[in-house]
Amino acid sequence: MLPTGSGGGLPSDYIRGFAMGLGSVGWRFYPDFEPEDPSPCVTFSSPAEFYITKATGYQTKTWDGTLQYSTDGLYWTDWDGTGELHSSSGTLRLRGRGNSVISGSVYGHGWLIFGSSVSCTGNLETLLDYRAVQAQEHPVPGEYAFRELFRGNTALITAPELPSGTLSPRCFYRMYYGCTQLLSAPDIAAAVLPAGSCYQMFYNCGSLTGAPALLATGFGEDCCFEMFCNCSSLALPPAISAVSVGRYGCNGMFRNCSGLGSLPALGASTLGDYCYANMFAGTGTRLRAAQNDYCIYPFSFSGSGGSGVANNMFDGTTVSGEIRTPARGTVYYATLPTSSAT
């Protein structure tokens, strides 16, 4: 008699392997493997067939542990980065073990997605170590962990959840650069954004309409440098809760976001050199020292430290009285509403 599962039938992947043993009433069969939970992974899905491969010329293993793929969530195969991952069913799952880096510091080590309207869901941490996530732990991404991982993938329309624990420098560096069809972005819940962590992360994502929440109270050097540059559809910027902003921390963060409908309040008390420089340049926002029929919404920032903090923060002075570089501690009036009055 074969052993049964808790639901009265054989375990779903029982037939993958078994061992035999002599019991009191004869030979019995025992599974010789550990049943696997298909849930903790990153899932790619599309209405049509698609495939994923490493960027041309870089089709090698760049992760420092193991990466596996599956089309059904039950049977998993190791991926060494050299082949194409196909999904005729429209679904492809990936998960990892013992990884601290997926793409790494070398340019071009990202993934290419061939198809259309591809959604990516799940928790990106599962590419590092899915069993740690399963145990409600947060594997720490290494430096450049996901550098340019999805760069230039115009088929991608949604992005997975991001690690919410401790981050490392440049971990999301240019991660979605040029994903022109990306519609939504995941929240970034880390308490500190280290140096370069979100550097040009959504650069040229022209379809992005809403920015992710940024919950960090500490912004490291150039952590959000040009993070949303050229995101012309971006209407709502994230609230910025940082109490300290490092050198170049928010430099050019919303440059050329021509659809921006509000300005975030800037309440940091410690500022680094050029941290807000060029921040709203190219948005069409105009700033004046006094109210008029158009510049009616109050805007100001304060904080100590740093030089060139707000250089060319706003658009050019095409009209007399407009201000490009505001002074800290002074209330100005903008053509766009601020997220909170000052």
Other beta carbons less than 10 A from residue 188's beta carbon:
24
User: Contact 145/119 with Cβ under 8 angstroms?
Assistant: no
Q: How far apart are CA 119 and CA 1, in angstroms?
A: 45
Q: How far apart are CA 239 and CA 217, in angstroms?
A: 11
pLDDT at 9: 44
pLDDT in tens, the chain (342 residues): 444 444 444 444 444 444 455 455 555 555 544 444 556 999 999 999 999 999 878 888 999 999 999 998 889 999 999 989 998 789 999 999 999 999 998 888 899 999 999 999 999 999 999 999 999 999 999 999 999 999 999 999 999 999 888 999 999 999 999 999 999 899 999 999 999 999 999 999 999 998 899 999 999 999 999 999 999 999 999 989 999 999 999 999 999 999 999 999 999 999 999 999 999 999 999 999 999 988 999 999 999 999 999 999 998 766 778 999 999 999 999 998 765 433
Q: How far apart are CA 39 and CA 101, in angstroms?
A: 22
User: Contact 76/122 with Cβ under 8 angstroms?
Assistant: no
DSSP letter string, 24-38: TTEEEEE--S-----
Q: What angle do CA 81, 152, 162 make, to 5 degrees?
A: 75
Q: Which two tokens stand for residue 1?
A: 């008699």
The strands making up 270-271's β-sheet, listed across from edge to edge, are 192-193, 218-219, 244-245, 270-271
Q: How far apart are CA 152 and CA 57, in angstroms?
A: 16
Q: How far apart are CA 63 and CA 103, in angstroms?
A: 6
Q: What are phi and psi of 200, to 5 degrees?
A: 50, 35
Q: How far apart are CA 170 and CA 199, in angstroms?
A: 7
Q: Alpha carbon of 12 to those of 30, 71, 143: distances in Å? A: 14, 15, 39
